[in-house]
């Protein structure tokens, strides 16, 4: 039996708060055996609800690993909560600033130390009207090509039925099913070796990873996934 990765006091505090919240949903998981029991790995999730980080953190922790999320730097300025997430190893993302490269550096360092890094490439909860993954940022591709570790696509569905971040509707009862499906590692071998990777490679790798996430989500939902990705910028301009 695999031993649990050593965590620490801040992770234990998060676990004490997060685990009870997961009781809001009935958990269904698939493919958890693909999560490495040791060593670095990038876990790539879709994002449909503000509950996702809580549910996903507990999911990873139940699989005896310590999740380290990439999160907006603004969260670190929240009193008390900011100190807790920083202590738990969360990596701040300084998007659009001169400090943006620090996120990649810190995430790469964590992976080189054999840690799990969790990322939401969409950057925020999906604005797609049907909840499918929307156009994603290429940071996930840059991280994947910088670090020679498994990149696992993971789809999760059901948190949006409990809390919808755009309508602000909270529906805890009756209990909803939350399904998490871990896919096979994405094969990026043909794109490795370029230093630095070209913009074309970054776009293609981002699509490859998110295509796998979308396929897993389609299986969970039992629906045909749409072609392409919703672009919120084009929606705002129309």
Measured in whole angstroms, how far is the alpha carbon of residue 52 from the centre of its chain?
A: 8
Higher pLDDT, 152 or 235: 152
How is residue 129 written in tokens? 């009207």
Residue labelled with tokens 């990038």? 42
pLDDT at 101: 80
> With bands split at pLDDT 50, 70 and 90, how would you rate the model's confidence at 238?
very low
Distance CA 214, CA 52 (A): 16
pLDDT at 122: 96
User: pLDDT digits over 109-138, tens only?
Assistant: 999 999 999 999 999 999 999 999 999 999
- Across the range 67-71, mean pLDDT stands at 93
pLDDT surpasses 80 at 200: yes
User: What are the counts of helices (DSSP H) followed by strands (DSSP E) for the chain?
Assistant: 8, 9
> With bands split at pLDDT 50, 70 and 90, how would you rate the model's confidence at 193?
confident
Task: Give the rounded percent of residues in the chain with a pLDDT score beyond 70.
Answer: 95
Return the minimum-mean-pLDDT range out of 90-94, 113-117, 154-158, 176-180: 90-94
User: pLDDT digits over 142-167, tens only?
Assistant: 999 999 999 999 999 999 999 998 88
- Across the range 44-48, mean pLDDT stands at 98
Phi-psi region of 7 (alpha: psi -120 to 50; beta: other; left: phi over 0): alpha
> With bands split at pLDDT 50, 70 and 90, how would you rate the model's confidence at 4?
confident
Query: Which fold is adopted by the domain 9-223?
Result: Glycerol-3-phosphate (1)-acyltransferase (3.40.1130)
pLDDT at 80: 80
| Inter-residue contact 115 to 10 (CB < 8 Å) | no
> With bands split at pLDDT 50, 70 and 90, how would you rate the model's confidence at 54?
very high
């Amino acid at each position: 039996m695999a031993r649990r990765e050593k965590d620490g006091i801040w992770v234990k505090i998060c676990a004490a708060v997060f685990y009870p919240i997961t009781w809001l949903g009935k958990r269904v998981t698939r493919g958890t055996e693909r999560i490495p029991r040791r060593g670095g790995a990038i876990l790539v999730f879709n994002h449909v609800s503000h509950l996702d980080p809580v549910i996903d953190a507990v999911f990873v922790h139940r699989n005896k690993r310590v999740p380290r999320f990439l999160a907006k730097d603004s969260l670190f300025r929240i009193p008390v909560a900011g100190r807790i997430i920083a202590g738990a190893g969360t990596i701040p993302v300084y998007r659009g600033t001169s400090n943006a490269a620090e996120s990649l550096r810190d995430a790469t360092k964590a992976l080189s130390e054999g840690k799990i890094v969790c990322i939401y490439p969409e950057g925020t909860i999906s604005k797609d009207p049907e909840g499918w993954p929307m156009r994603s940022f290429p940071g996930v591709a840059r991280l994947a090509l910088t670090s020679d570790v498994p990149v696992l696509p993971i789809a999760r569905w059901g948190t949006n039925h409990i809390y919808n971040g755009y309508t602000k509707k909270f529906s805890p009862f009756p209990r909803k099913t939350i399904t998490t499906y871990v896919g096979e590692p994405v094969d990026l071998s043909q794109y490795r070796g370029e230093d630095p990777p070209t913009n074309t490679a970054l776009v293609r790798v981002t699509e490859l990873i998110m295509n796998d996430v979308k396929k897993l989500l389609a299986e969970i939902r039992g629906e045909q996934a749409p072609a392409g990705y919703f672009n919120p910028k084009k929606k705002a301009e129309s």
